[in-house]
A = this chain, B = another copy of it.
Amino acid sequence: MYHARILITRRPSILEPEGRAVKHALANLGYDSVKEARMGKLADLTIDVKTKAEAERVATEAAEKLLANPVMEDFSVEVQAAEDVAA
């Protein structure tokens, strides 16, 4: 059993309006040291396969086919054995 964390961010060239709203909200709270904010998504998948390589393949395909928008978003995948995550 493996645990995969997929991080999905909008490409730097593409406007991210929610992050803009967060930046303004933080400025209103007094945090004007925050010069930029960009929001993204994460997905935690529990994958029942035999090898880490197979879990990486499943998680990458899940990101490519379902979770990430290939035109606007980038993603990264990190896989660990489920025992390591629980520890």
Mark A residues whose CB is within 8 Å of B.
1, 7-9, 19, 22, 25-26, 29, 31, 33-49, 58, 61-62, 65-67
Complex partner residue of A58 from B34, B49, B61, CB under 8 angstroms:
B34
Please, how many angstroms separate the alpha-carbon atoms of A16 and B77 in the complex?
20
Contacts of A29 in B (CB 8 A): 65-66
Please, how many angstroms separate the alpha-carbon atoms of A7 and B61 in the complex?
22
Please, how many angstroms separate the alpha-carbon atoms of A66 and B9 in the complex?
20
Please, how many angstroms separate the alpha-carbon atoms of A34 and B60 in the complex?
12
Please, how many angstroms separate the alpha-carbon atoms of A80 and B41 in the complex?
20
CB atoms of A42 and B42 under 8 A apart: yes
Knowing A42-B41, A66-B26 are in contact, say whether A33-B47 is a contact too (CB < 8 A): yes
